[in-house]
Amino acid sequence: MAKKKPVKKSAIGVDKLPENAHITGAGLVESQKIDNTLEINYMPYAMSVIMSRAIPEIDGFKPSHRKLLYTMYKMGLLSGARTKSANIVGATMKLNPHGDAAIYETMVRMAVGNQSLLHPYVDSKGNFGKAYSADMEYAASRYTEAKLSAIAGELFRDIDKDTVDFVDNYDATMLEPTLLPVTFPSVLVNNNMGIAVGMASNICSFNLNEVCETTINLMKDPDFDITETLKAPDFPGGGRIIYDRDEMLKIYETGRGSIKVRSVYTYDKSQNCIDITEIPPTTTVEAIIAKMAELVKAGKLREIADVRNEIGLDGLRITIDLKRGVDPDKLMNRLFASTPLEDSYSCNFNILIAGVPQVLGVKRILEEWTAFRMECVRRRVYFDLQKAKSKLHLLRGLAKILLDIDKAIRIVRETDEEAEVVPNLMIGFGIDQVQAEYVAEIKLRHLNREYILKRTEEIEKLEEEVADLEAVLKSAARVRTIIVNELKDVMKKHGQPRKSLLIYASDLAQAEEVVEEAAPDYPCTLFFTAEGYFKKITPQSLRMSGEQKLKEGDRLLRTVETTNRQELLFFTNTGDVYKAKASDFGDTKASVLGDYIPAKLGMSDGETAVDMVVTSDYSGYLLFFFENGKAAKVDLASYATKTNRRKLVGAYSDKSPLVAICHITEDREFLLTSTAGRMLLLHTGAIAAKSTRNTQGVQVMTLKKQHTLKSVDPYTDDMLTKPTRYRTKSLPAAGALPAADDVGEQLSLL
């Protein structure tokens, strides 16, 4: 009989298979339907995240929040001194299966020191970080202390009176509440965000007084218009809400929408700086400063000298040092448009209602909370009723005994065995076992007249209390009255003024107008060369400068004295126009070449700038003269756009090569010269204006074959000795050959 090969042992004691051994099924690939795999493996996980982790319920809490707060409540932290956060985290792990880091992070967000919530539930001591700063991290749990805040008492009122259901914790060693019996709509009072699988929730916070008042009015009148008392959200960090009634109504009705929030700032004239003290809840100080720095480096914010993060004991502050002459309000309007100093808060009021995620409007949420709270109050009343009935039952048995104390004493004294005392009392006075047990436990010192009278009076009060509690259970109106009184009490104890004030969207300037006015205004001279170089020089620098430095073979094409807020139109050889602002370019000196426009404005390969037009309001006309003798008169307003478009195609006709572009605000004369030497004085009033940018224009100068229009010059009185020689009554015209006195007196633009 053949011997079996021995099984080898590995160094760690795991059996090794022989070299020629085979594993059944190894290498086989089993195909599965993807829908079955998702249903079996992924769906349970997705449901767990939705139901037990990421989506808040009608009490306003996710399970992690609820477990932590209930642990603190059971630790007696509603009153007394704070305890180390590490103690709280450790105790919470009996209910929360997650690690200590996740539990502590949950606690940090609910703490007063972190400033994440409008009404924090944790009264903290130590460094809990700041919600508005990404760099300010919270200290470890062993260094901080905490207890429950005053408003947290409203979360647990009568929780020991069977107001909510309790379930086993994860290892079935403790009970924990499924919901907290909150006495106010905390689901709307404190913001909450969660990302589940396939869905998310983002609930903004509202002012406590406004929420409670709205709930009270809805309970009295189901058709109440909630916008009368609930104006808008109220964020923990303040800010200014740009109020749009239509958008707000959409959020109130559907639970989805967007709210614009902008920062709050003050201007310190003595220091010439802006102090930002409140920012939107969706951003951080570091993100704002980083965006500003990016814009400054890109040359888009030339008004800022320095930006500093000055968060301190007084709270949030971003300081912006300004350059001299900068208007702070106009600069801030520009920053609102280009940085997170103004941001949008996206609302998604997704809440678990009876285990089902639902996106609800504000009114529906308040109605669901009211129904939940009414059930809590009924359960509390029923608990009190059963307790009162039980006590009344005991006292009624006591009353029968007290009518003949001597008989009761005699029964007890004459009973041989202790176990027979209760049965004998039951027989002697016609009471049940519970009553007899209660009587048998009465101390001898209580068998006096005072005790008997007090117990008798208590019976009467209990009977009245039982009747009242039974009436409450039968009347929904009585239950609503209790809730209303509790809401008023919460408002009185914990209400606070709004932190986020409202500004109306209709009062704000349009973003484009803001950008136009944002740049500082000062005089400057603009230079544009035939090779496409551009310079912007201030008068002071120009006075101190010498000769303009130009590239070899280049020449100045345009010199315009203007201001820094002008619009610039650069026309290219391909028939397009690029738009820019004078403020987009830095101040320079005559001793440098300047900015090369094709590179500065990102033109295509082979595309060059052939002329520049300067305007502030797009008034007047542009005249385009072509080699074929045609001229086009186009309204400059045709180049104005409502959006910040940088490039317009088809800026002028490409049917014939361009000779000159002239900008006029009123009609005047131009001197046209052809390659044949003929000259024509053209009055632009004879040309009809067009709104089409790429119009071919009209024939103004007749040309012989092989001849073209050579130059165009704005006419002045000293240019010609006999100007009538070159004028004509009708167009087109061939013009006249120059007189001897006029030869060589004209200076061409090209």
* pLDDT > 50? residue 512: no
DSSP 360: -
**Residues 624-647, mean pLDDT to the nearest whole number:** 87
For 80-86, what is the mean pLDDT? 95
- What would the DSSP string read from start to end of 694-733? T---EE-B---TT--EEEEEE--TTS-S-GGGG--SSSSB
Mind listing the pLDDT tens digit for each residue in 476-502? 999 999 999 999 999 999 999 999 999
Would you place residue 32 in the very low, low, confident or very high pLDDT band (cuts 50, 70, 90)? confident
Q: Report the C-alpha gap between 395 and 130 in whole angstroms.
A: 57
* Confidence category of residue 720, pLDDT binned at 50, 70, 90: confident
H/E stretch holding 526: strand 523-529
pLDDT computed for residue 18 by the predictor: 58
pLDDT bin (cut points 50, 70, 90) of residue 458 is confident
Q: In what order do the strands lie in the sheet with 304-309?
A: 264-268, 273-278, 318-322, 304-309
Dist CA 519 CA 514 (whole Å):
9
Options 3.10.20.30, 3.30.1360.40, 3.40.50.720, 3.40.50.300; CATH for 264-340 is 3.30.1360.40
278 DSSP β-pair partners: 264
Average pLDDT over residues 281-310: 91
- Most confident residue range from 26-40, 446-460, 495-509, 530-544: 530-544
Q: What is the DSSP string of 250-294?
A: HHHHHSEEEEEEE-EEEEETTTTEEEEEE--TT--HHHHHHHHHH
Kind of pairing, strands 698-699 and 630-635? antiparallel
Distance CA 312, CA 318 (A): 11
Structure tokens at 286: 């570091």
Residue 430 in this model has a pLDDT that exceeds 90: no
Say which residue, 457 or 524, is predicted with more confidence: 524
**CB contact at 8 A, 107 and 117:** no
**pLDDT over threshold 50, residue 629:** yes
Tell me if residue 337 falls in helix, strand or coil: helix
Q: List pLDDT tens digits, range 536-565.
A: 999 888 888 778 889 898 999 999 999 988
Residue 179 or residue 440, greater confidence? 179
Dump strand ranges (E) for 564-629. 567-572, 577-581, 595-596, 609-615, 621-626
Share of the chain above pLDDT 90, in %: 58
- Residue 744: is its pLDDT beyond 90? no
143 is catalytic: yes
Rounded CA gap, 51 and 57, in Å? 9
* Residue 8 pLDDT: 47
Q: What is the mean pLDDT of residues 172-200?
A: 93
Check residue 745 and give its pLDDT.
47
Average pLDDT over residues 669-675: 92
- Tell me 54's DSSP state: I
Say yes or no to pLDDT of 6 above 90.
no
Query: Are 668 and 680 in contact, with CB atoms under 8 Å apart?
Result: no
- Quote the pLDDT of residue 378: 96
Compute the average pLDDT of residues 408-435: 87
Secondary structure of residue 131 in the 3-state scheme: coil
Q: What is the pLDDT of residue 632?
A: 93
CATH classification code of 61-157: 3.90.199.10
- What pLDDT is stored for residue 508 in this prediction? 67
pLDDT at 748: 44
Percent of the chain whose pLDDT exceeds 70: 93
Please tell me the CATH code under which domain 377-494 is placed: 1.10.268.10
Q: Are 636 and 622 in contact (CB under 8 A)?
A: yes
Reference 637, options 710, 567, 728; nearest CA is 567
pLDDT grade for 339, boundaries at 50, 70 and 90: very high
Per DSSP, 652 falls in state S
Distance CA 460, CA 466 (A): 10
What's the CA gap between 146 and 161, in Å, rounded?
Answer: 27
- Give me the residue spans of the domains in the chain: 61-157, 264-340, 377-494, 519-742
Catalytic-role residue among 143, 170, 504, 522:
143
pTM: 0.68
Of the candidate ranges 99-108, 299-308, 341-350, 379-388, the one whose mean pLDDT is the lowest: 299-308
Give the position of tokens 């007196």.
745
Token duo for residue 552: 């070899």
Superfamily of domain 519-742: DNA gyrase/topoisomerase IV, subunit A, C-terminal (2.120.10.90)
Encoded amino acid at 127, one letter: N
Average pLDDT over every residue of 433-455: 81
Burial of 467 per CB tally in 10 Å (0-12, 13-18, 19+): exposed
Mean pLDDT of 585-603: 89
Residue matched to tokens 């195609």:
649
- The tens digit of pLDDT for each residue in 99-134 reads 899 999 999 999 999 999 999 999 999 999 999 999
Cα gap 49→199, rounded to integer Å: 10
Helix or strand or coil: residue 560?
A: strand
pLDDT at 3 over 90: no
Mean pLDDT (the chain, rounded): 88
* pLDDT for res 749: 41
